[in-house]
Amino acid sequence: MKLNFIGRALLGGVALTVLGAGAQADELKDLKAQLEALQAQVNQLEARPASPALPEGAGWISFKRGSEALAGWNTDRAGDVIPTTSGMTIAITPSADLPAPVHEVTISGYVKGDVIYDFDQDLGDLFSYTAITKNRKKQDHIRLHARQTRFAIKSKSDTAVGQVRTLIEGDFFSGGSFGNTDFRMRHAWGEWDMTPNWTFGAGQTWTNFMSPFTGITTVDFNGDVGLIGASRNAQVRLTWKDGPQLFAIAIENPRDSWLLTGYGASLTTGSSSNLPDFTARWQYEAPGGHQFLISGMLRNYHVDSALVPQGSDSALGWGVQGAVNVNLADVATLTTSVMYGDGIGGYLFAANKGAYLNGVGDIKTIESLGLFAGLIFNVTDTTSINLGWGYTDQSKKDVVNAQLWNGGTQNIDVMSVHGNIIWQPVKQLRLGWEVMWAERQYVTTENSVRGVVHKEDAIRGQFGAWFFF
């Protein structure tokens, strides 16, 4: 009996052992399947490209001091460049797969305060050459203003079809020398790099006819005559660049159509602008810091028969320019330009008329010449001395004839001189002390008599302070 009980117990233990071993086998099988699934997921993750780690302290949207990101693009005219150490850059990187910023926005500008003292007559917030007249009382005059204060936003975006860049800039110099403080648009410009060498641009910016490197830093807002006049213009431009060479062509708004003044009451709206201005520019950056430029422009003056009883008429205006900057042993820079044309009008600073309409309905263009020479002495890393001389001359015969037919007051020739000391003790501050002189010969109407010629001059002192943000 006892043996039967023991046998049964042994058989039961063996059965339990067999059942437990079977259960463990099932668990091991399930665990193995789970491990295989996890290993498959790990293999998939390892097959993906590794996401690059950002530098310590960096983020997908970052902020940094300075505007170097767009420092070499569409800079201001010579002598008026905002330091790239000022301003702020916002860099945007939308995903971990693109560690380099694909979109950058720079915000920069300055506050400028001016103190001006005129020794002969009040010439306004800028050295207005047209305000130098015989009729103004000879008097000392002081004025202070902050109208040159400027604000600029630039951007660049790297896209699948090439880089896209934009510029919006404005100041408070509305209405000229005796104007107001309304905010005005200086630049609204966009560019697209269609290929590594070709760039398409549209909007309003420096005219393509201008030399961007000719000139000196001036405390005065205007600067010398003999240089570009209508410096910013609405346009569509195509630019080719290869190393040190640049070539650009553009069609531009015929903004000087109003310079064609009419004879008689029938012409009350100026000329009929039926064609854009055409401009072309070649520029070369030579080794050693030397720069060369040749540019040209063509324009069409036109009046329709609806405005002129004698019938419609057209005339071709043209201009050419040559400019050179010579680096003198890194101590000084000689900056020069020559501009000449027939009907060039406002492209030349102080050439306030490009053409006129005579009494028989014929358009007559006005011959003009512009000369400029300047020296920039780099005394120290923070101090420079700048000297500039400019001269604008229009054919006296043409100008007198224009005034006899159309009246008003028109420049014959203007000569100007600017001399200053510019000190920039820190990157955020620039101070300037300047003396300027100009002589103007003009033709006007006096006591109902047209064709009266006068020559007057004026001298001014000015202090300016730029606070870059």
**Which residues fall within 8 angstroms of residue 4, CB to CB, at 6 or more apart?**
none
Q: Domain tally for the chain?
A: 1
Which pLDDT does position 15 carry in this prediction?
47
Reported as a single tens digit per residue, the pLDDT across 133-178 is 987 667 899 999 999 999 999 999 998 899 999 999 999 999 889 9
Q: How many C-beta neighbours within 10 Å does residue 37 have?
A: 10
**Has residue 174 been placed in a domain?**
no
**What mean pLDDT, rounded, does the chain reach?**
85
Dist. CA 321–CA 145, nearest whole Å: 34
Q: How many C-beta neighbours within 10 Å does residue 339 have?
A: 29
Q: Which residue has the tokens 């002969």?
A: 120
**Has residue 424 been placed in a domain?**
yes
Reported as a single tens digit per residue, the pLDDT across 83-97 is 888 889 988 876 555
Which pLDDT does position 119 carry in this prediction?
94
Confirm if 345 and 301 have CB atoms less than 8 A apart: no
CA trace torsion 136, 140, 143, 149 (10° rounding): 80
Reported as a single tens digit per residue, the pLDDT across 401-448 is 888 887 788 899 999 999 999 999 998 999 999 999 999 999 998 888
**Has residue 380 been placed in a domain?**
yes
- In sequence order, what are the beta bridge partners of 103? 92, 157
- 26: pLDDT strictly greater than 90: no
Dist. CA 192–CA 189, nearest whole Å: 11
Q: Which residue has the tokens 């420096």?
A: 206
**Has residue 388 been placed in a domain?**
yes
Dist. CA 445–CA 397, nearest whole Å: 16
Which pLDDT does position 16 carry in this prediction?
45
> Which residue range is the domain that position 425 belongs to?
113-145+206-468
C-alpha distances out from residue 405 to 184, 257, 387, 398, 448, Å? 34, 17, 39, 11, 13
**Has residue 225 been placed in a domain?**
yes
**Has residue 13 been placed in a domain?**
no
Which is nearest to 303 in space by CA: 251, 257, 365?
257
Q: How confident is the model at residue 73 (pLDDT cuts 50, 70, 90)?
A: confident
Reported as a single tens digit per residue, the pLDDT across 217-227 is 999 999 999 99
Read off the tokens for 398. Answer: 């043409």
Dist. CA 87–CA 64, nearest whole Å: 9
**Has residue 22 been placed in a domain?**
no
Which pLDDT does position 60 carry in this prediction?
74
**Has residue 160 been placed in a domain?**
no
Q: What is the CATH number of the domain that holds 227?
A: 2.40.160
**pTM of model > 0.95:** no
Q: Is pLDDT larger for residue 311 or for residue 411?
A: 411
Q: What angle do CA 430, 212, 341 make, to 5 degrees?
A: 130
Reported as a single tens digit per residue, the pLDDT across 361-400 is 788 999 999 999 999 999 999 999 999 999 999 999 999 9
Which pLDDT does position 97 carry in this prediction?
54
